Structure 1
Amino acid sequence: MRPISIVHQDPCLTVFKHCSKDTVVICMGSPASCPLCDGELKDWMFSFRQIFAPWKTSESCPCTIVIRPTNGRFLQDYTGVEDLHIGIADSDGQVLHYDDNGIKRDTFWPECLPVWSQPDADLLTYGSGSIPDTQRCRWNNTLTLHTLSWRIDNHAYNEQVRNCFDFALGFVRALITETEPFGNKEMFTSEVILPKIQRLLRFLELYKKVCSTARSWIIQDTKDM
């Protein structure tokens, strides 16, 4: 097998088929030959895809609800059981979040997973360039009022009933006033957050499998992809 050249600095996997219809090769970078048969990949561009890490900087996913590990980072420290912290990215990617010290505003989160945006804007797919000014203004204005109401309320932080999750979900409810989008935290978790986390964990599983091999590639059945 010819050497693999890394073409993307962020965590990224290349998935392609070549000489077997029932298996795919998963590797990092762009291989010049198939690791199974050592054949030259002349037409590999027609049968490959890249899987990028699902986390982003908050600056690249404005006007979204975002989560991150409470401690550490996704790639190095997250296995699916560690605590997560949730925040609200404004139109500039600054993140407002709540903990036992009150409401905080961070200039940005360097690594976070966007989990929710306004239903009428596919911001998680198309990014900040697709956000109309009216939606940016509505998001920011609602966030300002929601933050103010929490500060006026001035109840103490409580791990069960007044935490970062309650702060974020309260904002979602304030933003979508025409309907009750999520009845409780369990519904928001199961319908919104868990599918994103499952996708993230799947990426981490594949990425770590590839990294753990000396050859930097693995074989996977197509039915498992």
Structure 2
Amino acid sequence: MAEGGIVRVRHCGAAIFCRRAPARCPACGSPLRGAGLPAAPVRLPGPFRHGHRQPRALLLRPAAGTFLGGYDGRSDLHVGVSSSQGVVYNYDEEGVHRAETGWEQCISIPLVQPDMFGLLQQWDKLLEEFSAGEDWLPHRYDEHDHNCYTYALAFVNSVLTAQGKQQMSKSEFTERFVIPRTKQASRYLTLHQELTAKDFYIVPLPDGENQG
């Protein structure tokens, strides 16, 4: 099933999720055409991006498999940083990899704003020089304390330092940038998994949202 192929309709005080907009409400059987704006089908945007088409971004993907290919929400995620050309720099027990494939379905967190002209030009040089440092040799890898996430955050902080900005702790960066994206992805994955097994997934709306 293609990513982005989830539709939401509101009717009978519920949000109804499906793959294709139904002609009738699966809860009450009444026609949805002409039922008002809340009943109009809305296609939900998928939270996953082709990482090699996301320049200068922090990327997260399952360490094994893909998000839409059976990810259980608990397995480890692998983290990388993309160059201006979509090459994904990532660190593991073998050292730093410069991947041109394998990151086709990711959570993407942009790291550079369009008006940061100097950083846009210097990004690849900074990323390559940082990745060549001794800290990221294979023997320095530690699954818990010196890993792919440590590598990505250390690079982000090196850029902040070069700009004269304050570094971020792991907890601050995770709370501000990572958790909002992973929560969005988790909600989408729940819907995707429900609709793998059934045609409709119906969620009651809070009283304030009961429309249609």
1:200 and 2:185 correspond: yes
1:77 and 2:74 correspond: no
What's 1:138 paired with?
122
What's 1:166 paired with?
150
Per-residue Cα deviation, 1:164-205 (whole angstroms, up to 9, x for no partner): 11110111001112222412x233223322222121111111
Let me know the Cα RMSD of the aligned residues: 2.8
How many residues are treated as equivalent by the alignment?
A: 203
**Letter paired with 2:78:** H
1:51 and 2:36 correspond: no
Q: Give the deviation of 1:51 after TM superposition.
A: 1.5
Q: Give the deviation of 1:41 after TM superposition.
A: 1.9
- SS of the residue aligned with 2:84? coil
1:186 and 2:186 correspond: no
Per-residue Cα deviation, 1:77-131 (whole angstroms, up to 9, x for no partner): 322221111000111111000111111111031111113523xx2xxxxxxxx57
What's 2:95 paired with?
102
Please list every run of 5 or more consecutive structure 1 residues that lacks an aligned counterpart in the other structure: 1-7, 122-129
1:210 and 2:204 correspond: no
CA distance in 1, matches of 2:183, 2:195: 19
What's 1:34 paired with?
25
Distance 1:137 1:44, change over 3 A: farther
- SS of the residue aligned with 2:6? strand
What's 1:5 paired with?
none
Please list every run of 5 or more consecutive structure 2 residues that lacks an aligned counterpart in the other structure: none
Q: Return the structure number with greater relative CO, CA threshold 8 A, min gap 6.
A: 2
Give the TM-score normalised by the residue count of structure 2: 0.81
Q: Give the deviation of 1:63 after TM superposition.
A: 0.9
Does the Cα contact within 8 Å between 1:67 and 1:85 map onto a contact in 2? yes
What's 2:9 paired with?
16
